[in-house]
């Protein structure tokens, strides 16, 4: 099985950066661990996007193990769009209006 191309929505990329900076400012090793966990999640999604549970009819989610974040994504052919790197306590579905350029 070939790995899918994984692309971050610009707002998801900003969320990822903001969370990384927050963790790194509070504890540098936590920033590194957060980055490693998100990178691992993205790699696993690209390897087997159907493995993770559905969030709704168009999106799937992968819940990070050590951080209160979800990686929300959509599939389109061999491309995976990371739609959000969402904090688990943020308003659910806030990211649903984000548009994706296929």
User: Is position 101 within any domain?
Assistant: no
Cβ-contact 73, 60 below 8 angstroms:
yes
User: Is position 102 within any domain?
Assistant: no
CB atoms near residue 63 (< 10 Å): 13
User: Is position 23 within any domain?
Assistant: yes
**What separation in angstroms does the CA of 89 have from each of 42, 69, 95?**
21, 9, 13
User: Is position 93 within any domain?
Assistant: no
CATH code at position 66: 3.30.2310.20
Helix axes of 28-47 and 10-26: crossing angle, nearest 10 degrees: 150
Residue 32 CB contacts under 8 Å (≥ 6 apart), including other chains: 24
Q: Dump pLDDT digits (tens) for 51-90.
A: 999 999 999 999 999 999 999 999 988 899 999 999 998 8
| Model pTM score | 0.90
Residue 8 predicted with pLDDT over 80? yes
CA distance 96 to 57: 12
**Domains: count for the chain:** 1
């Amino acid at each position: 099985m070939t790995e899918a191309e994984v692309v971050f929505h610009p707002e998801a990329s900003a969320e990822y950066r903001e969370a990384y900076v927050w963790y790194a400012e509070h504890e540098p090793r936590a920033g590194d661990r957060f980055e490693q966990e998100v990178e691992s999640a993205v790699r696993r999604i690209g390897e087997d996007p159907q493995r993770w549970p559905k969030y709704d009819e168009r999106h799937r989610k992968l819940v990070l193990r050590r951080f209160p974040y979800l990686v929300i994504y959509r599939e389109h052919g061999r491309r995976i769009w990371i739609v959000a790197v969402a904090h688990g306590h943020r308003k659910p579905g806030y990211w649903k209006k984000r548009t994706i350029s296929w």
